[in-house]
Structure 1
């Protein structure tokens, strides 16, 4: 089993020195382990190619089965007859978008800090390697939209959201209660793309699929940067409604309904199939569902309604009330 741990490190890093650092072993000890593995498999496994190392065909074929064995062993060693979150020091590695962290995981963390004060959460941004990270165990939990589900692993729906527009409260659209389609596509936009592969958002995919084009004059690397980029401009940002509504409570921005049809989307929690019966994962999934139900109940009126009333800013409603009086 110790040799499999070393083999896993060598196959993933393709380096004796990096494997030594990961395993807290000396380089001679790691080199000796590699020699024993080569003798056992009757294969070099790792070979020098110029200034880098490459895996042999056998080495490449061992990556997934070796990692799967280690994940199953980890699941076995963590098995307990009961799980007590109040005393658990379990650490979860979760990958999601900063939108999910803002509107959902922030509430999960607040709840967990009360019922599981010693538990740790390592929150990471989704990226092009996210599917592989779930497969190899580097990420234990994913919270991802329905179109990014990793096949072969269990999932549960958490919550649904739609899209709304954000504009500067003192900009060109300050007196608007809704945008026309022409105004929307004639305006300049802020879009969000993230990760090394510059992944685009769901609304951008939908609009492109409909052979329409938004003039994206600003591209932000995360949702959290959009408010500061929007203030003092005549730009439009199209964001998930829950995030957009939250932003208007913190920044001088105005919420407007999206004038072009974009389907609702769902965020899902996903975990590795080998962790399906892990009691700590079961507990966290339950906490996710309780949090999602609470958020849905709190936001049910604006999410269910597509009327102007559901998306007016507080300032707009006050003005309307004064006019009525």
Structure 2
């Protein structure tokens, strides 16, 4: 088993030095372990190509099965038959879009603060590596739109969301409604993240349906959009709940989007080997409780029923 841990580190890091740091071994000890693994498999596993180390075909074939074995062992050895959030010191790592962190997880974590005061939560933004991070067990939960879900792991829908437009209050070119012609002619602020490789759902929809917009700015997150439209005649297309929350802070108007963008469904996903982890089951239940209080949004930019605010936390 120790050799499998070492092998997993070498296959992941493709560097003796980094692999040694990962499993807290000295570099000579890691080099000796690699030599034993090479002898056992009768293969180099990793080779020097120019300035880089690359996996051999045998090494590539071992990446997933070795990691799967370690994750199954981890699930067996760390899962407890019961879980008490009030006393747990568990750390949970979650990847989510900045929209989900602002609109949804902030409320969830208020409740977690009361119910699980000693737990720790590490929030990270989704990226092009999110599926790999979930596969490798480096995160417990992934919160993102359903179209972003991995096909390899179970998931659960949380709530649906629509899109609206936001413009600066001082934009004199826009009346009470925004026509499609005007919308298409305006300067847009779009969102891309993951080094520009991931685009928002509405951006993907526009491209697939042949709507050509004049993108004046590309932002790395939804949270900065109001700052980039205030004081200008630009427009941004953004999720309805986030738009209304931002309109309480920034001088901007929320308008129906003249292009009928479809709803998106936000979901939570977890590793298939952690299906019965009671801590993850508890947190998934907490996500569902908050999602059920959200109500719904409409294409006209309204939020119907429910409420997005969690109760104010009490002293503890």
Residues 185-264 of structure 1: pairs in structure 2 closer than 5 A: 185-264=184-263
Show the counterpart of 2:273.
Answer: 274
Alignment of structure 1 residues 78-227 onto 2, 5 Å:
78-173=78-173, 176-227=175-226
Query: Which whole-Å deviations, capped at 9, do the CAs of 1:141-171 have from their partners, x for residues lacking one?
Result: 1111121111021000001110011000112
- Tell me the SS of whatever aligns to 1:266: strand
**DSSP-derived class of the 1:260 partner:** coil
The residue that corresponds to 1:64 in the other structure is 64
| C-alpha contact 1:185 1:214 (8 A) present in aligned 2 | yes
The Cα of 1:192 is off from its aligned counterpart by 0.6
Secondary structure, in 3 states, of the residue corresponding to 2:204? helix
SS at match of 2:293: helix
Q: What SS class does the counterpart of residue 93 from structure 1 fall into?
A: strand
Give how far 1:307 is off.
Answer: 4.8
How far, CA to CA, are the matches of 2:63 and 2:165 in structure 1? Answer: 45
Identify, as 1 or 2, the structure richer in helix. 1
Matched residues in 1 for 2:173 and 2:84: separation?
53
Question: 2:255, 2:300 within 8 Å by CA — same for their partners in 1?
Answer: no
Q: Distance in 1 between matches of 2:33 and 2:88?
A: 34
Distance in 2, Cα, partners of 1:173 & 1:267: 34
SS across alignment from 1:295: coil
TM-score, normalisation: structure 1:
0.90
Q: In structure 2, what is the Cα distance between the partners aligned to 1:137 and 1:76?
A: 14
* 8 Å Cα contact 2:177-2:255 kept in structure 1: yes
- CA RMSD between the two structures: 1.4
Find the aligned partners of 1:164 and 1:145 in 2 and give their Cα distance: 17
Aligned length: 303
Query: 5+ unaligned residues in a row in structure 2: which ranges?
Result: 304-316
| Corresponding residue of 2:287 | 288
User: Could you say what secondary structure the match of 1:159 adopts?
Assistant: strand
Relative to structure 1, the CA distance from residue 203 to residue 306 in structure 2 (aligned partners, 3 Å threshold; closer, same or farther) is closer
Q: Counterparts of 2:79 and 2:186 in 1: how far apart (Å)?
A: 56
Q: CA deviation at 1:178?
A: 1.4
Is 1:127–1:197's contact at 8 Å kept on the other side of the alignment?
no
Q: Report if aligned partners of 2:164, 2:300 keep a CA contact under 8 Å in 1.
A: no
Rounded to whole Å, the distance in 2 between the matches of 1:36 and 1:108 is 48
Shift of residue 50, structure 1, vs aligned partner: 2.3
How far apart are 1:173 and its partner, in Å?
Answer: 4.6
Q: How big is the shift at 1:197?
A: 4.1
3-state SS, counterpart of residue 25 of structure 2:
coil
Secondary structure of the 1:282 match is helix
Cα–Cα, structure 1 residues 49 and 257, in superposed 2: closer, same or farther, change >3 Å?
same
Structure 1: gaps of 5 or more residues: 312-325
Task: Rate the CA distance shift 1:197–1:226 in 2: closer, same or farther, 3 A.
Answer: closer
Matched position secondary structure for 1:267: strand
Question: Which has the higher Rg, Structure 1 or Structure 2?
Answer: 1
